[in-house]
Structure 1
Amino acid sequence: MTTSSTGNAGEKPVASGFAVSERTAHLRAEAALFMRDHVLSLVSHDLRGPLNAIHSWAYVLERKLDANDPNAQRAVTGIRNGVDQQVKLLETIVDTTRAETKSLALAYAPFPLHPLLDETAEEVRSGLGRARGVEVAVDSQLATEQLNGDRERLAAALWLMLTFAVEASAEGATVKLVTKADTSVWHASVAYEPNDAALEDPSLPHVLEAFARKQAREPREAKRIAWVLALCKRIAEAHGGSFEQGEATDSTADGATATLALRVPLSATAPK
């Protein structure tokens, strides 16, 4: 990846001469922080199952082995001690490190939704969207609806949804934000046509980290999201809502549409 040292005041170079605003740089750093903690959470979760199984089987083996065989007993004790050490590492390093985003503080206040959409869409449109030749369109059914929540956090989640969709779209494509509110929930859905080449091509302007974009192309287990979208999921859940990354809905490789869906209660409260 090549960088440029030129740019306007308050802008930071990213790739191929493309510079981002201070706000975009801040949002990119936030996305990276949440992604790190999301990966640590997955590591902690996915390792505990096998470690618990090893620990249990060690007790089974101990009962089967000759109690008078010191070598066999030392081997079983070594297995159990090794498992205990790994669990302690998870608790003292992994769990502690991700504590920063595990308990997410929110500044609740009522705010109108429509300005938030316009501001965020324009931020992505005038930055990465324009540089990539990708249009950002908004289909809003909102009028004067308000949401009681953390405006800045929700703006960050919406920004990341749109930015990821632009990153994954080929030149000339359109990323579409569709949003509405029913009696109790705000719905925001981003539809785009994923293009692997556009997501990874180092010659194109990018905001998100290369390894995160590469991981986003890999197959995902059911209901798991790409690491880079962890901020969206965490902020939605902190508001008592949800976030989902949908697979492409078209069976053909070209023209397939994927979705990112955010749902947040209008009177959001922290989940118990």
Structure 2
Amino acid sequence: MVSTSFSAVAAATSDERFARMRAETALFMRDHVLSIVSHDLRSPLNAIHSWAYVLERKLDPNDAAAQRALAGIRSGVDQQVKLLEEAVDSTRAETKALPLTRAPFAMRQALDRSLDDVRRALADARGVTIKLDSQLDAEQCDGDRERLSQAIWVMLAFAVEASAPGSSVALASSVESGSWRVDVAYTTSFAALSDAELPHAFDAFSRKQAMLAREAGRIAWVLALPQRVASAHGGMFEQGDTLDGQPSTLSLRVPLVAV
């Protein structure tokens, strides 16, 4: 009876962490998309604003209709900029300046926790094996353990979701040139990402977007959390190409000490 109760508590705790991680992932993805929207809309709005000044010098100041049209263009640009500032930029403030709770922690423990959580919540149910390759033991990193564990969780969960049932994901971690490096390697399966019958950690929209061609340097939206966490630590996050049937790698590197 005692062992059964312990198992039930452990399962409930794991379910709670799984639900929390799904919510955290969705929050960072939302703010990442808003950031892209803000950036990509400002460029054409700035161009429209500049051309409005060019038109002003060309148009007859006595042409009332042309002046009304010009005023309408400027008013529209101003309204769009105000909307970006009030609705978009303010909404993403929660993750734009990500606060960190820094303290020394054992990297291997954080690694093992994320690995165990993803195995229990997703990998076992999908028949995906996660293989760990790491010589880390008691080495420590001065950073936000919870945020870095979340970043690894998202990397592993995405790799599992993008892998065909029965395949394997490779998790490698090491200390390299004063940085903690974590690499997750897998072979992409679009069928696995889109199969509604398989267990999933991420919603259908984010999985569909992850299969689209990406502009150079941009990541899949669902990976916004590890990118933001790496950046807040003064590190880097990279996503390899996502091509159906081809191997890919997710890489996170953060300094061992604050920079």
TM-score where L is the length of structure 1: 0.89
How far off is 1:134 after superposition?
A: 0.2
- Give the match's secondary structure for 2:141: strand
Residues 178 and 255 in structure 2, CA contact (< 8 A), matched pair in contact too: yes
Aligned runs of 1:37-116 on 2, under 5 Å? 37-116=31-110
Shift of 1:143: 3.1
- Given the alignment, which residue of 128, 131, 136 partners 1:134? 128
Give yes or no for the alignment of 1:182 onto 2:176: yes
Q: Which residue of 2 aligns with 1:151?
A: 145
Contact 1:185-1:266 at 8 Å conserved across structures? yes
Query: Counterpart of 1:195?
Result: 189
Check the 8 A contact 1:133/1:171 in 2, yes or no. Answer: yes
Shift of 1:145: 1.4
Contact in 2 for aligned 1:10/1:22 (Cα 8 Å): no
Structure 2 distance, partners of 1:207, 1:199, is 11
Contact 2:211–2:242 (8 Å) recurs in 1 = no
Q: Which residue of the other structure, out of 200, 210, 222, is the alignment partner of 1:206?
A: 200
Distance 2:161 2:242 in 1: 16
Work out the CA distance in 2 between the residues paired with 1:71 and 1:183.
66
Residue 248 (structure 1) shift: 5.2
Aligned match for 2:249, one of 246, 259, 270: 259
In structure 1, give the amino acid aligned to 2:176: D
Identity %: 61
CA distance in 2 between partners of 1:9 and 1:76 (Å): 66
Per the alignment, residue 234 of structure 2 pairs with 240
Letter in 2 for 1:153: R
Aligned counterparts of 2:121 and 2:150: Cα–Cα separation in 1: 15
Deviations 1:191-233 (A, max 9, x none): 0001001001111111111100010000100010000000000
Partner of 2:249, secondary structure, is: strand
Residue 268 of structure 1 aligns with which residue?
Answer: 258
CA RMSD after TM alignment: 1.6
1:32 corresponds to which residue?
26
Distance 1:10 1:77, change over 3 A: farther
Rounded to whole Å, the distance in 1 between the matches of 2:242 and 2:233 is 27
Shift of 1:105: 1.1
More helix by share: 2
2:117 corresponds in structure 1 to 123
CA–CA separation in structure 1 for the residues paired with 2:84 and 2:205: 23
Which ranges of 4 or more aligned residues in structure 1 deviate by more than 2 Å?
8-12
Q: Is the 8 A contact 2:106 2:139 kept in 1?
A: yes
Deviation, 1:10, is 8.5
Provide the rounded CA distance (Å) in 2 between the counterparts of 1:257 and 1:141. 24
Task: List alignment gaps of at least 5 residues for structure 1.
Answer: 1-7, 13-19
Q: Equivalents in 2 of 1:90, 1:183: separation in Å?
A: 41
For residue 183 of structure 1, report the CA deviation from its aligned partner: 4.0
Give the superposition deviation at 1:118. 1.4
User: By how many angstroms is 1:127 displaced?
Assistant: 1.9
Q: Label 1:25 to 1:161 Cα distance change in 2 as closer, same or farther (>3 A).
A: same
TM-score by length of 2: 0.93
Q: CA deviation at 1:141?
A: 2.8
Match for 1:259: what amino acid? T
- Pairing 1:160–2:129 present: no
